[in-house]
Chain A
Amino acid sequence: MIPSKKIELFCGTGGVGKTTLATSRAYSLAKSGKKVLLITIDPARRLKQILGIKDDNAGEVSTLTGEDFQFENGQLDALLMNPKTTLKRMAKLSQEGSSLDNPIVNILTKPYGGMNEIMAIIEVQHHLKTGGYDTIILDTPPGKHFIDFLQSSQKINQFFDKSFVDIFKYFGKRFSKSKEEQKSGFLSLIVKSGIKKLLSYLEKVTGESFVDEFIDAISGLYLNRSSFTEALVFQEDLKKADYSNWFLVTSVDQRKAHEATDLQQNAENFMHKDSFLVVNRSLTPYLENWQPDASHKGLVHLHSSMKARENTIKDMGAKRLNQYKEVLYFPEVLDIEPMTHVKNLASSWK
């Protein structure tokens, strides 16, 4: 079996079976005696169907106790990301709890409010620190949003960029404790002079109350910035081969080879030598045992188009082989029960 690391990431375009594969990996590690946490931030929330988790406990870690999850030594915990719960915990930890009680922060941390990715980084960081897990497996959001996820740490940096913060210092809201205010120099003067004009334009478009509340929201987030900046450590750790495994998942039944390639190119900056290309729903073992009668034109056609799909993806794997430690093929599981998929795939990890 591929040696496990502290963090394992499953990435890929949507609909490739990423969540099921991540679950199967978690399952097989737990079976081998590890204490594993599986986090999913996939908005489609397939995990809850597979693992029997309910929406009520989203945001909370639950240890799986069903009969399928009785392990001799290992343990499998699961967590559905809920940005609101993460935020609540952040506020509790900092002394500035009430500063996050703001209508805009509230909207932003709705499940589809747009802060999922940033909050996920903070969540992972938290469980790394406190959970005592051997491995945390992260099922990342699909496609383009996975890149957003990886780059969210840069967003955090940009967000707390000094010149940006200066803008808000100008309003003097809740920044009075800051020492830096005393040394407000030439730069902030320039920023200040432009700000009044900017705001008068902004208010025309957005309404007055928004500007006030937005400033409050930003101030609140700023006062809690240590949670955000600490999460940046996570991104650095991801780049270390002794710390993480990367699994790039793609599926044979998708006509999206070019999209998968794009994703890989984008992810190159983040990946290291322990990266694996995972090809899901491979029909190769089935196709090898099937040779349709030449008189059945339809079947010959079907057979060759299925084979062609397999080969497209194999070519892609071969071309980029130097980038990966290994290309892993998982045969399509012909069953309708999600748990059977998990168990079946888990046996392929060995």
Chain B
Amino acid sequence: MPLKSKDATTNFLSLPFILSKKTRLIMVTGKGGVGKTTLAMAITKALQEEGKKVLYNSFDQPLNQTLASKIDLPHFNLEMDSSARSYIAKKLGSETIAKWILKTPFFSSLFNMLPGLGHMILLGHIINKLEEDSELTIVLDSPSSGHAITMMESPRNFKEMFRTGLIVDDINRMERFIFEDERMNIVVTSLPTAMATQEAHELKEQLASRGVPHFSLVLNDLLSLSPSLKEASPGDLPEFIKTKCLHEERLLSELSDEEWKHIPHFAHERSPAIIKECQHLLTKGAPL
């Protein structure tokens, strides 16, 4: 293929790059619009295809119900208010007191002032679920990058704040699960531009400095690797596509092949078709 000088087929994203034997929780993160949801759903479907017990969770964002049912996605929902209530109820042994506490202006203010608190309770529920069922793997579709940092920084902040008490005990348990037992892998997704990959690197470093042990860097939507261009020679292509491909190739030559794995641009209008192609890539290591 004249468009690419390197052998393009060797560096596609596949499941082994995303999870090790220890991995039980996969969090897909990156800036908005990089295809996090598509990738998180494709990972879930691919793991299911391999016979794993796996569930997708959209975390603090509403689930795209239509899409989830179209692709028959195994998933579960968590709702912030009820999660907080059941968390407090469990700790105090009373649903009534929990309800009452959450109704007070003190707690509603606490929740508004400390957005990370709600996230931490959600994460706590997710880890509970994983500890209750040792066969289960969960794929988390996380909020955009800055807020993924908020989330990973929250345990430390709250520990610093609370120092003792039931919440701190729980934070220690969560930290053990994520950081020491190496159960979590974060997949940082980026679009193929110099600025976006630079941001992804920054994000990775920030998360690493907060103790996250495992990462996978994924370059999504590469036009130069698109199956649609497979049969084409440069002469068939308009200038703007040639320019885009040229920029991508320049970028690829600057990025380490060990560090970054690739997903091609899939020319479909609808998400289910894209997810299907991505799922195939993950299980087979090459596009359809």
Q: Could you list which residues of chain A lie within 8 angstroms of chain B, going by C-beta atoms?
A: 13-16, 42-44, 46, 49, 103-104, 107-108, 110, 112-115, 141-145, 148, 155, 158-159, 161, 163-164, 167, 194, 198, 201-210, 213-214, 251, 253-256, 258, 283, 286, 289-290, 292-293, 296-299, 301-302, 305-306, 308-309, 312, 332, 334, 336, 338
Q: Is the CB of A302 within 8 A of B101?
A: no
- How far is it, in angstroms, between the C-alpha of A59 and the C-alpha of B107 when the chains are bound? 30
For B274, the chain A residues whose CB sits under 8 A away are 255
Measured CB to CB, the closest approach of chain A to B165, in angstroms, equals 3
Q: Mark B47-82, 1 if CB is under 8 A from A, else 0.
A: 000000000000001001000000000000000000
Query: CA of A253 to CA of B31 in the docked complex: distance in angstroms?
Result: 14
CB-CB under 8 A from B116, the residues of chain A are 113-114
Q: Which residues of A contact B113 (CB under 8 A)?
A: 108, 114-115, 155, 159
Bound Cα distance from A145 to B232, whole angstroms: 43
Residues of B within 8 Å of A298, CB to CB, are 226-232, 267
What chain B residues lie within 8 Å of A206 (beta carbons)?
162, 165-167
Indicate whether B268 reaches chain A with its CB closer than 8 angstroms: yes
- B92 neighbours in A (Cβ, 8 Å): 201, 204-205
**Once the chains bind, are A13 and B32 in contact (CB under 8 Å)?**
yes
Interface centre among B144, B203, B250 (most CB of A within 10 A): B144
Give the CA-CA distance A104 to B198 in the complex, in Å: 32
The complex places the Cα of A290 from the Cα of B92 at a distance, in Å, of 66
Given contacts A43-B145, A44-B199, A206-B165, contact A14 B33 (CB under 8 A): yes
CA gap between A336 and B195 in the complex, in Å = 8
A207 to B193, CA, bound (A): 47
B residues near A16, Cβ cutoff 8 Å: 32-33
A244 and B129 alpha carbons, distance in the complex (Å): 48
Quote the shortest CB–CB distance from B101 to chain A (angstroms).
Answer: 6
Establish whether residues B166 and A15, one from each chain, have CB atoms under 8 Å apart when the complex forms: no
Contacts A163-B105, A204-B165; A112 near B149 (Cβ below 8 A): yes
- Interface magnitude class on chain B: 35 or more
Q: In the bound complex, do residue B271 and residue A207 qualify as a contact, i.e. CB atoms below 8 Å apart?
A: no
Selected A-B contacts with CB under 8 Å, 18 pairs: A14-B33, A104-B161, A114-B115, A159-B112, A159-B113, A204-B92, A206-B166, A206-B167, A207-B163, A207-B167, A255-B271, A292-B236, A298-B227, A298-B267, A299-B232, A301-B267, A305-B269, A336-B193
17 additional A-B residue pairs with CB within 8 Å, beyond A113-B157, A299-B229, A338-B195: A14-B145, A15-B34, A49-B195, A110-B153, A158-B105, A164-B105, A194-B104, A198-B106, A204-B92, A210-B162, A214-B161, A254-B33, A255-B274, A256-B33, A258-B64, A292-B236, A297-B231
- Give the residue name and chain of the A residue nearest to B94 (CB): A201
Interchain CB contact under 8 A, B161 and A103: yes
Q: Is B286 an interface residue (CB 8 A)?
A: no
The interface residues of chain B lying within 8 Å CB-to-CB of A293 are 236
Q: Which of B64, B168, B194, B243 contacts A334 (CB 8 A)?
A: B243
What is the predominant secondary structure among interface residues of chain B facing chain A?
helix
B191 interfacial contact with A, CB 8 Å: yes
A136 to B143, CA, bound (A): 28
**Given that A46-B199, A286-B238 are contacting pairs, would A207 and B157 also be in contact in the complex, using a CB cutoff of 8 Å?**
no
Q: A108-B114, A305-B269 in contact; A114/B150 too (CB < 8 A)? A: yes
- B88 in the interface, Cβ–Cβ < 8 Å? yes
Find chain B residues with CB under 8 A from A14 CB: 31-33, 144-145
Which single member of B33, B194, B238, B269 contacts A253 (CB below 8 Å)?
B33
Complex CA–CA separation, A336 to B196 (angstroms) = 11
Assess the B194–A336 pair: CB atoms within 8 A: yes
CB of B269 within 8 A of CB of A203, answer no
B252 to chain A, nearest CB (A): 13
Distance in angstroms from A151 CB to nearest chain B CB is 10
- B236 near A49 (CB under 8 angstroms)? no
A interface, over-half SS = helix
CB distance B61 to A144 under 8 Å? yes
Report B178-230 residues with CB < 8 Å from chain A CB. 191, 193-196, 198-199, 203, 221, 226-230
- Which of B161, B236, B238, B239 is within 8 Å of A107, CB to CB? B161
Bound together, the chains give a CA A5 to CA B253 distance in angstroms of 45
Q: How far is the CA of A13 from the CA of B33 in the complex (A)?
A: 8
A140 to B154, CA, bound (A): 23
* Chain A residues, Cβ within 8 Å of B153: 110, 112
Q: How many Å from the CB of B269 to the closest CB on chain A? A: 5
Closest to B117 in A: A114
Q: Is B91 an interface residue (CB 8 A)?
A: yes
Most chain A C-beta atoms within 10 Å of own C-beta, residue among B110, B199, B232, B269: B269
The residue that B31 contacts in the complex, of A44, A213, A258, with Cβ under 8 A, is A44
In the complex the two chains form, is B97's CB within 8 Å of A201's CB? yes
Are B165 and A207 in touch, CB under 8 angstroms?
Answer: yes
CB of B234 within 8 Å of the partner chain: no
A108, B269: Cα distance in complex, Å: 42
Q: Are A143 and B144 also in contact (CB < 8 A) when A46-B195, A103-B160 are?
A: yes
Q: B276: CB under 8 A from chain A?
A: no
Within the complex, the shortest CB–CB distance from B251 to chain A, in Å, comes to: 8
Chain A residues lying within 8 Å of B83, measured Cβ to Cβ, are: none
Nearest-neighbour CB distance to chain B for A207, whole angstroms, equals 3
Chain B's nearest CB lies how many Å from the CB of A300?
A: 9
Contact of A158 among B34, B112, B191, B237 (CB under 8 A): B112
Q: How far is the CB of A42 from chain B (nearest CB, A)?
A: 8
Contacts of B97 in A (CB 8 A): 201
Q: Is B31 a contact of A305 with CB atoms below 8 Å? A: no
A15 touching B32 in the complex, CB below 8 Å, given contacts A49-B195, A112-B150: yes
Are B32 and A205 in contact (CB-based, < 8 A)?
no
Q: Which residue, A13, A206, A254, has most C-beta atoms of chain B within 10 A? A: A206
Of chain B, the residue at the smallest CB distance from A145 is B147
Q: Confirm or deny: B5 has a beta carbon within 8 angstroms of a beta carbon on chain A.
A: no
